A and B are shown apart, each in its own frame.
Chain A
Amino acid sequence: MIPALSRILLFQLIGEILSRALMLPLPGPVLGMIFLLIALSASTRIQQIVRPVAQFILAHLSLLFVPAGVGIIAHLGELQAHGFGLALALVVSTMAAIIAGAAAFSVVAKLIGSVSDD
């Protein structure tokens, strides 16, 4: 637990520092994810240490969005002022983006003959 957490936090820390020092458009945690990915590819020891804790944290990923989600109530007035139009924009746009993305992936996958194996 502790060895895994210290490594996970270390990768995030490196990510945060680089993101700020180099003013990159990527946030620290996403950079940290890329660094951990490189480390996992390089070392099976890191895999053994990090995997169980990472799987535990990711199994409860939804929980972590609750505090930010409750922030919606802090904006209830503003959101209600735009009401229907805003709801329509969010719902239609999200649906359109999912369909467009899945369709584009599928078309290109078919063109190059890349099939899913599960």
Chain B
Amino acid sequence: MTDPFKLWSYLSSEPLLWLWATLVAYWIGDFLFRASRRSPFANPVMIAVVILGTVLLMTHTPYERYFKGAQFVHFMLGPATVCLAVPLHANLPKVKRALLPIVAGLVVGSTTAIVSVLAIAKAMGAGPVLLASLAPKSVTAPVAIGISQQLGGEPSLTAALTIMTGMIGAIVVTPMLNVLGFRDWRARGLAVGVAAHGIGTARAFQVHETKGAFASIGMGMNAVLTAFLAPVILSLF
């Protein structure tokens, strides 16, 4: 029999194992999500991240090695973003009729996201690099990283903060807006797309197609708006 350490060093350094682990961890997350009757608190992304994070820490596997396998899944984010045009196209008549409310929700939601995170973080003693890394946290990860770089933040920290924001948004949106009595799917979708980018949008599609389409618009438009707003607002802090 071969040396088990050799076998492990093969498995852990090749993409196959970590690609498989990513799919299985998500499968477990999705299973628990369905078993909980689609409870927002059993968010499949969060469950998969916790499982994989635990495995990587226990096996002392560096993130870079994990990512060699996971990059095949990660790559699909780009094509998936392009695909958002399909539900958007199906909802185009609804979008055209709601253009003014969309712009209002976008501007108010985006400004609130940036101002509030900077105000709270500064009050809690965050330094300039952390503030710059936090400012674009509601925007889809590739854009947030670009904005963070321009502002003097730390891009890879921004990526982590952005994903955390997305998971928080996906978890809180349904119970919170239910309690507050918002029933318009359009308003709910746009708000979560603006505040919690792609992960919020993925959650929106799980709930309702109209909500998902409006979340896609919120996410796409906020990517542009935050690129302009974040530097201006950060300069005030």
B85 near A37 with CB under 8 A, answer yes
Q: Which of A27, A41, A112, A114 is most buried by chain B, counting CB atoms within 10 A of its CB?
A: A27
A residues 23-57 in Cβ contact with B at 8 Å: 25-30, 32-34, 36-37, 40-41, 47, 50-51, 53-55, 57
A105 near B172 with CB under 8 A, answer no
B 15-58 binary contact with A (CB < 8 Å = 1; else 0): 00000001101100010000000000000111011001100110
Contacts of B190 in A (CB 8 A): 101-102, 105
Give bound CA distance, A102 to B180, whole Å. Answer: 10
> Interface size (A, Cβ < 8 Å)?
76
- Mostly, the B contact residues are helix
Given contacts A25-B224, A33-B88, A93 and B117 within 8 Å (CB-CB): yes
Q: Which of A9, A62, A92, A118 is most buried by chain B, counting CB atoms within 10 A of its CB?
A: A62
Contacts of A82 in B (CB 8 A): 124, 126, 130
Give bound CA distance, A116 to B63, whole Å. Answer: 45
A residues 43-77 in Cβ contact with B at 8 Å: 47, 50-51, 53-55, 57-59, 61-75
In the complex, which residue of chain B has the Cβ closest to the Cβ of A118? B210
In the complex, which residue of chain A has the Cβ closest to the Cβ of B162? A68
Contacts of B164 in A (CB 8 A): 72, 90
In the complex, which residue of chain A has the Cβ closest to the Cβ of B206? A62
A residues 64-112 in Cβ contact with B at 8 Å: 64-75, 78-79, 82, 84-86, 88-109, 112
Contacts of B151 in A (CB 8 A): none
Contacts of A68 in B (CB 8 A): 74, 77, 141, 159, 163
Within the complex, which residue of A37, A96, A98, A117 is in contact with B94, where a contact is CB–CB below 8 Å? A117
Contacts of A29 in B (CB 8 A): 77-79, 81-82, 142
Interface: B132 (CB within 8 A): no
B26 near A37 with CB under 8 A, answer no
14 new A-B contacts, CB < 8 A, other than A25-B223, A29-B81, are: A25-B227, A27-B143, A57-B83, A58-B86, A64-B77, A65-B77, A71-B156, A74-B160, A82-B126, A85-B124, A93-B137, A93-B138, A100-B191, A106-B187
B interface, CB within 8 angstroms of A: 22-23, 25-26, 30, 44-46, 48-49, 52-53, 56-57, 62-63, 66-67, 70-71, 73-74, 76-89, 92, 94, 97-98, 100-102, 104-113, 116-117, 120-121, 124-126, 130, 134, 137-138, 140-143, 146, 156-157, 159-161, 163-169, 172-173, 176-177, 180, 182, 184-188, 190-192, 194-196, 198-199, 201-203, 205-206, 210, 212, 216, 218, 220, 223-224, 227-228
